[in-house]
Amino acid sequence: MNRKYRKTIIAGNWKMNMKPSDVKPFADELKNIVSRAKWCETVICAPFVDLPAAVKAFKDCRVSVGAENLNENPKGAYTGEIAADMLVDLGVKYVIIGHSERRQYYGETDISVNKKVHAALEAGLQPIVCVGESLEQRELGITIELITLQVKTALANVSADKVRKVVIAYEPIWAIGTGKTATAEQAGEVCCAIRAVIRNLYGARIARAITIQYGGSMNEKNAAELLAQPDIDGGLIGGASLVPEKFAAIINAANQE
Ligand code: PEP
């Protein structure tokens, strides 16, 4: 983390877990155990149907709410889809874009990620853009090239003014939901490379200000070590974000003086 130049953000990704009726009890429990988040912003990204309850329940515990996806079009005949404006209208602040599960199961590509990034920024949402390599790609030694391409494509034609709102989440696919965490050095190396890509595209001032998270089995035990890396400015957390004590412990780790 480097709190002098950028925001630390701890974001939960509930995925397809937690019903609307689960939201308030979770928020009440989290409120009781989390210490005041002085140094980091906390976000819960929830399924669409949970969002109204989440905006309401998290309002007074200073937790921002995010969606897990959006449609790249502003409105129209896209049955079953949700547009950025609809999320903004609800009070949603963040949106996860290009999570590896969406790339794997729903055919999302770097190009569709770029379209969604533009749609989110246009509407005033802050995108959390996920990038990451598979185990095969890591073993082939192409991680940095691959991540560079993912980041460049995701940010294509995004202005310097707007890119400040983008959060990048480095999520090695082999570490998501597997209990296998990248070592702090592995995660730190890729996050540093991501910042270098942003520096090349937008210059040092902007690169220094962008929040880059690590995601992949981050938990209450490994969070402090991962967050100690200078280029890891927070976490995107799946499994551990479903349990208030575990999520609170990660937030508290990000809040250490
Ligand atoms: C994720 O889904 O973004 C994630 C990192 O999941 P987990 O923490 O469960 O590995």
- Compute the distance from residue 172 Cα to the ligand 1 centre, in Å: 10
Q: Which among 53, 51, 34 has a CA at the least distance from the CA of 94?
A: 51
Contact 112, 72 (CB under 8 A): yes
211 Cα distance to chain centroid: 10
Q: Does 13 reside within a domain?
A: yes
Which CATH number do you get for residue 248? 3.20.20.70
Q: Does 45 reside within a domain?
A: yes
- Compute the distance from residue 76 Cα to the ligand 1 centre, in Å: 32
Q: Does 3 reside within a domain?
A: no
238 lines ligand 1 (CB under 6 A): yes
Domain count, the chain: 1
Q: Does 1 reside within a domain?
A: no
**Structural tokens at position 209:** 């200000």
Give, for all 257 residues of the chain, the pLDDT tens digit: 888 899 999 999 999 999 999 999 999 999 888 867 677 999 999 999 999 999 999 997 889 999 999 999 999 999 999 999 999 999 999 999 999 999 999 999 999 999 999 999 999 999 999 999 999 999 999 999 999 999 999 999 999 999 999 999 999 999 998 888 889 999 999 999 999 999 999 999 999 999 999 999 999 999 999 999 999 999 999 999 999 999 999 999 998 87
Rounded CA separation 4/245 (Å): 28
Contact 234, 227 (CB under 8 A): yes
**Structural tokens at position 112:** 């569709």
Q: Does 173 reside within a domain?
A: yes
Q: Does 193 reside within a domain?
A: yes
Residue 95 is part of which domain span? Answer: 8-254
Contact 172, 216 (CB under 8 A): yes
131 lines ligand 1 (CB under 6 A): no
